[in-house]
Amino acid sequence: MTCSHLIPILVPFFWLYYLLLSTFHLPHATSVSFDFDFSHPGGYNAANISLQGDAYFHNQFIELTKNDRSQGSDNSIGRASYNASVPIWDEVTGELASFTTNISLQIVIDRTSGKSGDGMAFFLAHYPSRIRSNIIGGSLGLVTSGTTNATGDDRIVAVEFDTFLNEGTDTSANHMGIDVNSVISKAYVNTSVPGKNLTSGFVMSCRISYVNSTQRLTADLQIGDASYHVETSADLRQLLPSAVSIGFSAATGVETELHRVLSWSFNSTLGGSAPAAPSPSPSSSPSPALQMPQGQSFFSKVPWKVVGPVIGVVVVVASSACLVCLWRRCCGKIKPAGENKKTSEKAPASVQIASEVAPANVPIASEEPPVNVPRAFSYPELEEATDNFAAENKLGEGGYAVVYKGQLINPNRLVAIKNFKLGSSTIQRRKAFEDEINVISQLKHKNLVELVGWCIDVQRDMLSLVYELLSEGSLHEHLHKTRSWLQWGRRYQIILGLGNALEYLHHICRDCVLRDISASNILLDSQYVAKLADFGLSRLMDHGMELKTTCNLAGTPGYVDPEFLKIGKRSRESDVYGFGFGIVLLEIVSGRTPAPASDHTATEASLLKRVWRMHHNTTILDAADPKLVQESTREHHAQMERVLLVGLWCAHTDLSKRPTIKDAMKVLTSTDMVIPLPLPAFMAELPRLAADDLSRDSHSPNNVLSSPASRV
């Protein structure tokens, strides 16, 4: 073979050599997609989120600012951002990305002062995200205070949810705005619908989109049935670096406010068409061998600016080696293969460069149900749903309200409608209504009854709350009436569900919600999932503060803590016992009511006293329902004994010896933890709550006690 014969072969190699040397950037489609649900442990991977400042994970959401009165919650700042950079425009082609993000968020103000401040924001900024000094308060943790035109690494584009009026920069104390390198919004909308604004306490949903073809940034916020929209033009190439950090920022000044992110999905495309809205996908986990951020493909994480040139150099070197070998072979510098065995063995092996195809960019995330936001109903809607509040639709009656079954049209679902009684004083009715709506609107948990909406009809003097209707009724009906028999497996799941709800209320919520927990206030859905109901008897107690006293007795006879009845004080410990958990545990296993209705002289301690005596005699399993014991296995018997012991532990007369709900749940779900349960000093004579102690309070206009059978 002569050199002239190699010219057709060498020409393509020289062209490849030229192209690779002339450019180190290969344009490609880059996408980022993820879907995080922070309200479920399996809905996200904490390694994918970077937290800064005061931000931290709760079991149900990300808390961006402090939630600790003992250390002070003012002058707080926090950020939560995605832990990888997100390309938003191409430095070579100048092409812009399109993106869409959906957020579920909540802002909770200090109800004692009624003041708000300062707010939170979704941002795009320099990667990696960093918090500078002097960016608290009205700066929302975004830019240095007083900055009106951020430059360099301080540049930001953000959608703010502002809850404080800063003179000279804000138009109102309640607005959503789009910020460009400043917290003086380029465009804004006031969230002015009464009861449906940023500080109403509702879980809000927001969709933020950027379309590359129009360069329009839009934000749509939904609070109940109120909608808010804002948009503006923004050429991100002129405003931000090519790859950015995305996430959330919040700050407080002299006031206290909580800023929470419950879920977050994001989808962007660079080098392709605008992305569709992120859609839920089945829950899955990345392989241990490939620890990539949730919902992101391998190739979207490759640092192409570094890897691209390296690949180019490798290909050039390999091509050059091949060319040299061919040229030397052609010109007779080396002998052909086979002519010299030794030389043949040293000849270079052929080089093959294989290309790897990237997997489809499928988000890896748990499926997130749509956020159900409570809405306002009109009185005619509730009339139609209940057939004009027909007697046959009446479900029950409580201390302040009558409850009806209803069939709504929008949304199409069965509900329980709670009408506050007209016979009560107006002040009491409205306060009970306000308490209940304020508490429930801030809570979201699978073991709490869902609030669907409410109705305020001033003309008819009507106050109503609309809840989901649970098909299997109350736990009381199953334990003590003719409803279906509950086998141990279901009872145990109900116990764990109650514990999860209480743990959420005590250790996750900003305030301890001290409830009336009784078998009648525990409702069951079609799958026998337990849900706590009747928040109308809730009381709020700030974490870390001294106990609050009250002249109202809130609770059901048989479940009320003697300490609370004696001095009118509430605590976490009395909630674990007096508001249900300890006594309900004993009731679920034994099948006995804590205060039999047929014995008016019985004390609330009757069931408790019986179980304590059996524990003292080392025969605690005898306290269980005989039918339950007979049909269950030895493993179930061990669970029953453990539940009874935890019930006694929670109901200990010495407050200092009671567990937190978190400790109680650890023991319930363990098989080897030892329960620190010394016998109480009152074994000789358990303390009694005389019936006249309760009857004396039953004549008070402030009393909200009612029998278990009357709870709905």
Q: What CATH number is given to the structural domain containing 124?
A: 2.60.120.200
For residue 282, name the pLDDT band (cuts at 50, 70, 90): very low
Q: Of the residues 35, 511, 516, 625, which is catalytic?
A: 516
The pLDDT tens digits for 652-710 are 877 778 888 888 888 998 877 777 776 655 443 443 333 333 333 333 323 222 223 33
Convert 529-550 to b/e letters by CB count within 10 Å (16 or more is b): bbbbbbbbbbbbbeeeeeeeee
461 and 480 part of one domain: no
Round to whole Å and give the CA distance between 254 and 614. Answer: 56
413 and 489 part of one domain: no
Mean pLDDT of the chain: 73
| The pLDDT of residue 657 | 80
Neighbours of 615 (CB within 10 A): 19
Binding-site residue set for ATP: 418
Check whether 353 has a pLDDT greater than 60. Answer: no
Q: Which of 711, 667, 678, 433 is nearest to 558 (CA)?
A: 711
Lowest mean pLDDT among 119-128, 264-273, 502-511: 502-511
Q: Which of 72, 122, 87 is nearest to 265 (CA)?
A: 122
CATH number at residue 503: 1.10.510.10
| The pLDDT of residue 5 | 53
Peptide bond into 118 cis (omega under 30): yes
Q: Which residues contact residue 556 at a Cβ distance below 8 angstroms, ignoring those fewer than 6 apart?
A: 516, 518, 520, 521, 705, 706, 707, 708, 711
Round to whole Å and give the CA distance between 538 and 90. Answer: 55
For residue 585, name the pLDDT band (cuts at 50, 70, 90): very high
Residue 66 structure tokens: 């402090």
Average pLDDT over residues 372-384: 86
As a whole-number percent, the residues of the chain with pLDDT over 70 amount to 61
The DSSP element (H or E) to which 567 belongs, if any, is helix 562-567
Check whether 262 has a pLDDT greater than 90. Answer: yes
* pLDDT: which is higher, 690 or 579: 579
62 and 104 part of one domain: yes
> Is 298 part of any domain?
no
131 and 245 part of one domain: yes
* Residues comprising the chain, all counted: 712
Average pLDDT over residues 595-612: 62
> Is 704 part of any domain?
yes
240 and 389 part of one domain: no
| The pLDDT of residue 134 | 59
> Is 4 part of any domain?
no
465 and 480 part of one domain: no
Within 13 Å of residue 562, how many CA atoms lie on the same side as its CB? 16
* pLDDT: which is higher, 394 or 563: 394
Lowest mean pLDDT among 19-28, 287-296, 390-399: 287-296
Check whether 1 has a pLDDT greater than 70. Answer: no
* pLDDT: which is higher, 506 or 377: 377
226 and 182 part of one domain: yes
Average pLDDT over residues 606-610: 85
Can 516 be counted among the known catalytic residues?
yes
| The pLDDT of residue 561 | 55
Round to whole Å and give the CA distance between 113 and 120. Answer: 20
The pLDDT tens digits for 460-487 are 877 888 999 998 989 999 998 878 899 9
Round to whole Å and give the CA distance between 665 and 670. Answer: 8
The pLDDT tens digits for 33-75 are 999 999 877 888 889 999 998 899 987 899 999 887 656 667 8
**Of the candidates 440, 469, 498, which is a domain's last residue?**
469
* pLDDT: which is higher, 452 or 557: 452
Total domains in the fold of the chain:
3
| The pLDDT of residue 428 | 66
Contacts 24+ apart (CB under 8 A), 184-190: 184/148, 185/160, 186/232, 187/230, 187/231, 187/232, 188/230, 189/228, 189/229, 189/230
As a whole-number percent, the residues of the chain with pLDDT over 90 amount to 31
| The pLDDT of residue 396 | 84
For residue 274, name the pLDDT band (cuts at 50, 70, 90): very low
**Of the candidates 285, 302, 323, which is a domain's last residue?**
285
* pLDDT: which is higher, 649 or 420: 649
Instruction: Say whether 30 sits in a helix, a strand or coil.
Output: strand
| The pLDDT of residue 217 | 96
CATH number at residue 412: 3.30.200.20
Round to whole Å and give the CA distance between 191 and 290. Answer: 44
**Residue numbers of the domain that contains 447:** 375-469
600 and 620 part of one domain: yes
Average pLDDT over residues 386-400: 87
Q: CA torsion 557→563→569→572, rounded to 10°?
A: -90
Asked if residues 439 and 451 have their Cβ atoms less than 8 Å apart, the reply is: no
For residue 240, name the pLDDT band (cuts at 50, 70, 90): very high
> Is 35 part of any domain?
yes
**Of the candidates 267, 285, 303, which is a domain's last residue?**
285
455 and 507 part of one domain: no
